[in-house]
């Protein structure tokens, strides 16, 4: 079926935003993002794009709410359960509005922002952060295919030109290298950051879930671990 280009919005252009390459879908709501009021029990899921965000969001939602809200995973879309803080798409609820409307405790909130652009209230409230890093090669390949299918990202072009932009850091949310190293350095001054690696999760999911639960002060049931192990990455 041909795509109706009259209803498809034009792809955005990259802009330089506080030294980071961005598109307007993630900066149009900037005042509300920076003034977002985090709560001490909020958990922030932070990643570079295409580094396991959805996987870890699902895992955390399952660990916290599967016993008290067993139908939650099938009754409510994940994007409503774990809002994307900085997103602002016309005719849709903004990420900040969705996060403010959450009635769960804790609130699970995801972001792709580099560490220097995180709203200060998350640090002031000493919130826990789960950061996931993925190796550059696989991250770049996944990002390329994602950009081919979504209209909220710039046109990816061919693989060679895309890879060069990835190497140069001319990607939405900036440089992969700056992102993963910025968060790595932050964890030394902010003890409530749990830094995970996508590859470790693939290698031994159970081991990494145990580490995550230890960080969060949770215990996981055999049923929850089976559900997590059955996820398609």
Q: Supply the residues annotated as catalytic.
A: 112
Cα dihedral across residues 176, 177, 183, 184: positive or negative: positive
For the record, the structure tokens of 144 come out as 């390329």
For 202, half-sphere exposure in the C-beta direction (CA atoms, 13 angstrom radius) is 12
Give the residue from 94, 101, 123 showing the smallest Cα distance to 32: 94
Q: To which H or E segment does residue 63 belong?
A: helix 53-65
Distance separating alpha carbons of residues 173 and 20, to the nearest angstrom? 6
Distance separating alpha carbons of residues 175 and 2, to the nearest angstrom? 35
| Close Cβ partners of 95 (under 8 Å, ≥ 6 residues apart) | 29, 33, 83, 84, 85, 86, 87, 88
């Amino acid at each position: 079926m041909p795509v109706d280009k009259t209803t498809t919005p034009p792809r955005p252009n990259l802009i330089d935003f506080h030294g980071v390459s961005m598109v307007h879908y993630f900066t149009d709501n900037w005042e509300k993002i920076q003034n977002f009021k985090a709560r001490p029990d909020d958990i922030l899921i932070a990643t570079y794009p295409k580094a396991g965000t959805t996987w870890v969001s699902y895992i955390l939602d399952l660990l916290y709410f599967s016993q008290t809200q067993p139908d939650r995973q099938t009754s409510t879309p994940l994007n409503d359960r774990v809002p994307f803080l900085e997103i602002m798409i016309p005719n849709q609820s903004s990420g900040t509005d969705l996060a403010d409307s959450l009635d769960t405790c804790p609130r699970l909130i995801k972001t792709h922002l580099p560490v220097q652009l995180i709203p200060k209230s998350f640090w002031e409230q000493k919130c826990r952060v789960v950061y996931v890093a993925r190796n550059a090669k696989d991250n770049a390949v996944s990002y390329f295919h994602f950009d081919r299918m979504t209209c909220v990202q710039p046109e990816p072009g061919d693989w060679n030109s895309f890879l060069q932009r990835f190497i140069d850091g001319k990607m939405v949310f900036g440089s992969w290298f700056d992102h993963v190293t910025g968060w790595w350095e932050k964890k030394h001054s902010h003890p409530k950051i749990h830094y995970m690696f996508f590859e470790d999760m693939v290698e031994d999911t159970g081991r990494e879930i145990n580490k995550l639960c230890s960080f969060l002060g949770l215990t996981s049931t055999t049923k929850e671990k089976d559900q997590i192990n059955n996820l398609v990455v």
